């Protein structure tokens, strides 16, 4: 239904700016500041991939805590990053 009134890019933008990236941390900008101490626009690809890997369970995974799951997901995301086309 949303796609009838909004572009996919706008839906993604809204989603990334309201999801929880940790306990009480909402939105991509807040996540970048909280986990890495920098603005979202300044994230390195590895940092952005780390945050993306956390999305399914951000309270369980912290950006600074490497787990086998996070490391694997981050590597997959990094390998696909250049081929991804943003809506």
Residue 68: give the domain boundaries. Answer: 2-81
Q: Tell me, yes or no, whether 6 lies in a domain.
A: yes
Q: Tell me, yes or no, whether 33 lies in a domain.
A: yes
Q: Tell me, yes or no, whether 55 lies in a domain.
A: yes
Q: What is the pLDDT of residues 31-52, one digit of tens each?
A: 999 989 999 999 999 999 999 9
* Helix 45-54 vs helix 68-81: crossing angle, to nearest 10: 120
Domain with 6 in it: what CATH number?
1.10.3810.10
Q: Tell me, yes or no, whether 87 lies in a domain.
A: no
Q: Read off the pLDDT band of 63 (50, 70, 90).
A: low
Domains contained in the chain, number: 1
Q: Tell me, yes or no, whether 63 lies in a domain.
A: yes
Predicted confidence at residue 64, as pLDDT, reads: 59
- pLDDT-above-70 percentage for the chain: 92
Determine the Cα–Cα distance for residues 47 and 59; give it in Å rounded to an integer: 17
Q: Are 1 and 12 in contact (CB under 8 A)?
A: no
Q: Tell me, yes or no, whether 65 lies in a domain.
A: yes
- CA dihedral in degrees (41, 31, 13, 47; nearest 10)? 50
User: Considering the entire predicted model, what is its pTM?
Assistant: 0.79
Q: Tell me, yes or no, whether 86 lies in a domain.
A: no
């Amino acid at each position: 239904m949303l796609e009838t009134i909004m572009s996919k890019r706008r839906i993604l933008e809204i989603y990334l700016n309201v999801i929880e990236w940790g306990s009480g941390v909402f939105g991509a900008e807040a996540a970048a500041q909280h986990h890495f101490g920098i603005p979202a626009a300044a994230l390195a690809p590895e940092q952005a991939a780390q945050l993306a890997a956390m999305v399914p369970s951000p309270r369980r995974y912290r950006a600074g805590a490497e787990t086998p799951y996070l490391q694997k997901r981050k590597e997959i995301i990094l390998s696909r990053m250049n081929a991804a086309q943003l809506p």
